[in-house]
């Protein structure tokens, strides 16, 4: 894995350079597209992106040695994140000219750490700087969300708000109803946040991610038709949930119940974080995972295995799957003095079960997107 310095060296020919971090999410999963609550934090694992003026468009992925040039018929997977932003800029008549771009980074793709949003946000931010679009961070967040939706993922805005506004050492409690956020220091005296990557890669657009957000839209329509005055599922509370029970089918009701409970978990989690109550934080993580696995059905055997290991191991306060699901990473809250032995034991157990070497790193919570040059 290359360091930031190595990427800066590889990208030294570029006049404008940005660092777009990845994110973890402590709690509040699949709630953003329903205008609920979530609590992500930006990490030091990042995408680095450089650009110069050019006669025609060209983009190089420095880690995979793939280059796309304007007019070329073969299109790499990642091109979609650039094309979305270029198209949107043209639709809005924003100044934009061909560029020579290169990007790469130590943020793994398909690992539930928002690598696609990091690329897309990094590109939108760089365009705004280079062409002097004069968008503030709020407008830029909206632009990046819209640009990324062109990739076909009916995602929310958690990743973009987090990437553009992250703050070192803090998680952001985001209210996705109005895109406002509050910082919560997340360091705990005796624990560390450990990310365990199952190495089961997901490309969310090819999973049931969109199916979940579509079912949520059907639930909303049904509740509105039946007279509930709500604009989004994030507004549903325990009382409204009881009223909804007879209106929804057996596929829909668990999804709504999960949404209501997950929003409540985010509120409790923020309070437990202030109290630095690792036992309660761990329990909330485990409850969240059960919801994602049994009600929302976006987990997989590998993630369940890792979380099950954590739930039985006294060195871990708790764990849960993180991000869109169907593979990717889990987050574990582990006692700092035992983290090394915990990591080697869970690695061995995981390898024995699935024949896969999981990846591990301690989350270093860093600032959000920055221009480096
Ligand atoms: C992906 C999406 C986010 C969010 C998460 C699940 O990361 O990009 O908008 O929905 O999944 O919480």
Distance 215 CA to ligand 1 centre (A): 16
pTM of the model: 0.97
| Maximum alpha-carbon separation in the chain | 63
Beta bridge partners of 184: 171
Q: What is the dihedral of CA 110, 107, 267, 305, to 10 degrees?
A: 50
pLDDT of residue 203: 81
Q: Give the C-alpha separation, 187 to 171, whole Å.
A: 10
Q: Is 299 within the bounds of a domain?
A: no
| Dihedral (CA of 97, 8, 117, 109) sign | positive
Instruction: Note whether residue 216 is domain-resident.
Output: no
Q: Please tell me the total count of domains within the chain.
A: 1
Question: Is residue 194 a part of any domain in this protein?
Answer: no
Q: Please report, for residues 107, 140, 300, 329, the alpha-carbon distance to residue 110 in angstroms, rounded to integers and kept in the order given.
A: 10, 24, 14, 9
By most ligand atoms within 8 Å of CB, the mutation choice from 108, 158, 214 for ligand 1 is 158
Residue numbers annotated as active site: 159
For residue 260, which of 41, 35, 39 has the smallest C-alpha distance? Answer: 35
Q: How far is the CA of 114 from the centre of ligand 1 (A)?
A: 8
- In a domain, residue 139? The reply is yes
What is the distance in A from the centroid of ligand 1 to the CA of 175?
Answer: 14
| Residue-wise burial string across 162-180, b where 16 or more C-beta atoms lie within 10 A, e elsewhere | bbbbbbeebbbbbbbeebe
- Rounded to a whole number of angstroms, the CA Rg of the chain reads 21
Does 177 reside within a domain? Answer: yes
Which residue has a Cα nearest atom 9 of ligand 1?
156
**Is residue 63 in a domain?**
yes
List the domain range (segments joined by +) for residue 77. 4-187+367-371
pLDDT of the chain along its 373 residues, tens only? 899 999 999 999 999 999 999 999 999 999 999 999 999 999 999 999 999 999 999 999 999 999 999 999 999 999 999 999 999 999 999 999 999 999 999 999 989 999 999 999 999 999 999 999 999 999 999 999 999 999 899 989 999 999 999 999 999 999 999 999 999 999 999 999 999 999 998 788 888 999 999 999 999 999 999 999 999 999 999 999 999 999 999 999 999 999 999 999 999 999 999 999 999 999 999 999 999 999 999 999 999 999 999 999 999 999 999 999 999 999 999 999 999 999 999 999 999 999 999 999 999 999 999 999 9
Q: Whose CA is nearest to atom 11 of ligand 1?
A: 324
CATH no. for residue 39?
Answer: 3.30.230.10
Decide if 21 is inside a domain.
yes
Please tell me if the CB atom of residue 123 comes closer than 6 angstroms to any atom of ligand 1. Answer: no
Q: Is residue 134 part of a domain?
A: yes
Pocket test for ligand 1, best of 29, 163, 324, 330 (most atoms within 8 A of CB): 324
> What gap in Å lies between CA 271 and CA 288, rounded to an integer?
16
Distance CA 129, CA 139 (A): 13
In angstroms, what is the span from residue 337 Cα to ligand 1's centroid? 32
* Whether the CB of 159 sits within 6 Å of ligand 1: yes
């Amino acid at each position: 894995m290359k360091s930031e310095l190595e990427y800066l060296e590889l990208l030294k020919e570029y006049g404008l350079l940005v660092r777009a971090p990845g994110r973890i999410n402590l709690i509040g999963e699949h709630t953003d597209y329903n205008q609920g609550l979530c609590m992500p934090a930006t990490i030091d694992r990042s995408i680095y992106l450089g650009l110069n003026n050019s006669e025609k468009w060209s983009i190089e992925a420095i880690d995979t040695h793939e280059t796309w040039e304007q007019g070329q018929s073969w299109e790499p997977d990642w091109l979609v994140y650039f094309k979305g932003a270029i198209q949107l800029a043209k639709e809005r008549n924003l100044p934009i000219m061909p560029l020579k771009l290169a990007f790469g980074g130590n943020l793994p793709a398909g690992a539930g750490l928002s690598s696609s949003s990091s690329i897309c946000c990094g590109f939108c931010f760089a365009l705004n700087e280079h062409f002097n679009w004069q968008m503030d961070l709020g407008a830029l967040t909206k632009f990046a969300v819209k640009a990324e939706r062109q990739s076909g993922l009916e995602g929310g805005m958690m990743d973009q708000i987090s990437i553009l506004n992250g703050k070192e050492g803090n998680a952001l409690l985001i209210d996705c109803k109005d895109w406002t956020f509050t910082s919560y220091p997340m360091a705990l005296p005796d624990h560390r946040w450990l990310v365990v990557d199952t190495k089961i890669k997901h490309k969310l657009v090819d999973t049931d991610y969109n199916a979940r957000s579509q079912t949520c839209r059907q639930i909303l329509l049904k509740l509105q038709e039946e007279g509930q005055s709500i604009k989004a599922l994030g507004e549903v509370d325990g009382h409204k949930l009881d009223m909804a029970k007879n209106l929804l089918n057996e596929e829909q009701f668990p999804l709504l119940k999960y949404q209501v409970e997950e929003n409540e978990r985010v509120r409790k989690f923020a309070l437990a974080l202030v109290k630095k109550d690792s036992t309660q934080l761990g329990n909330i993580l485990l409850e969240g995972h059960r919801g994602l696995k049994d009600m929302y059905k976006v987990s997989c055997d590998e993630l369940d295995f890792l979380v099950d290991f954590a739930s039985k191991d006294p060195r871990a306060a708790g764990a849960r799957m993180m991000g869109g699901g169907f593979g990717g990473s889990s987050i574990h809250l582990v006692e700092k003095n035992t983290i090394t032995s915990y990591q080697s034991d869970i690695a061995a157990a995981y390898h024995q079960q699935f024949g896969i070497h999981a990846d591990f790193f301690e989350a270093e919570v860093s600032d959000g997107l920055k221009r480096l040059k």
